[in-house]
């Protein structure tokens, strides 16, 4: 018998056993999106209420899990843009899903675009390299912390190449 305890939330979306029981056509309504965003906003508030150095993981972990679930379904960009529209934010073609969800659910006065970009890079790095069984906070700490993971993602994606390529 397989022990499914401790499996991440997105496991159930990709599980072949579950897909045969439920099928692929389970609707994700606007109300479900609102509930997910409210849950993440509550995680943000909980994170801000703590004065612990590691409190940010109380927010980044559910953001990561939600966007990964959407990505598994192939709907991350579409749903992130819908989330932005629900918050009366004009979606950009360049805004990445992790950044969009952070933008919708965190306090703009505390999270500027640079911080949002850094956290988004960290989560994209984790998406590429993290084993599903390792908790996000442990993975990030093992890889050197938030700043180091963001740097590693940038190094791998070529973001630190000559600026002349951007003009």
Alpha-carbon distances of 121 from 23, 46, 87, 132, 153, rounded to whole Å: 33, 23, 23, 18, 6
SS3 17: helix
Q: What is the pLDDT of residues 135-145, one digit of tens each?
A: 999 999 999 99
The pLDDT, as a whole number, for residue 26 is: 74
DSSP code of residue 53:
G
The answer as to whether 147 is a domain residue is: no
Higher-pLDDT residue of 58, 16: 58
Q: Pick from 71, 47, 72: which is nearest to 80 by CA?
A: 71
Q: What is the pLDDT of residues 35-46, one digit of tens each?
A: 999 999 999 999
Report the number of distinct structural domains present in the chain: 1
| For residue 17, pLDDT beyond 90 | no
The answer as to whether 10 is a domain residue is: no
Given pLDDT bands bounded at 50, 70 and 90, which one contains residue 159? low
| For residue 32, pLDDT beyond 90 | yes
Per residue, what are the HEC states of 62-117?
HHHHHHHHHHHCCCHHHHHHHHHHHCCCCCCCCCCHHHHHHHHHCCCCCCCHHHHH
- C-alpha span between 21 and 24 (Å, rounded): 10
pLDDT over 90 percentage in the chain: 69
The answer as to whether 4 is a domain residue is: no
- C-alpha span between 49 and 20 (Å, rounded): 42
Alpha-carbon distances of 27 from 14, 31, 74, 149, rounded to whole Å: 16, 11, 14, 34
Q: Which domain holds residue 28?
A: 22-120
The answer as to whether 35 is a domain residue is: yes
| For residue 12, pLDDT beyond 60 | no
- C-alpha span between 10 and 101 (Å, rounded): 17
The answer as to whether 49 is a domain residue is: yes
The answer as to whether 152 is a domain residue is: no
The answer as to whether 59 is a domain residue is: yes
Q: What is the pLDDT of residues 63-98, one digit of tens each?
A: 999 999 999 999 999 999 999 999 999 888 788 999
- C-alpha span between 97 and 123 (Å, rounded): 10
The answer as to whether 71 is a domain residue is: yes
Q: Pick from 52, 74, 47: which is nearest to 63 by CA?
A: 47
């Amino acid at each position: 018998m397989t022990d499914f305890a401790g499996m991440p939330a997105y496991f159930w979306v990709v599980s072949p056993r579950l897909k045969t029981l439920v099928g692929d056509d389970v609707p994700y309504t606007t109300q479900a999106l609102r509930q997910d965003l409210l849950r993440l906003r509550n995680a943000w508030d909980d994170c801000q209420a703590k004065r612990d150095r590691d409190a940010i993981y109380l927010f980044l972990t559910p953001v990561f899990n939600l966007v990964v679930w959407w990505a598994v379904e192939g709907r991350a960009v579409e749903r992130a843009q819908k989330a932005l529209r629900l918050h009366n934010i004009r979606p950009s073609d360049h805004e990445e899903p992790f950044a969009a969800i952070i933008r919708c659910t965190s306090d703009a006065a505390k999270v500027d675009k640079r911080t949002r970009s850094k956290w988004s890079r960290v989560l994209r790095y984790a998406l590429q390299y993290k084993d599903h069984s390792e908790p996000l906070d442990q993975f990030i700490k093992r890889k050197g912390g938030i700043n180091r993971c963001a740097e590693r993602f940038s190094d791998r994606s070529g973001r630190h190449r000559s600026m002349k390529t951007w003009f």
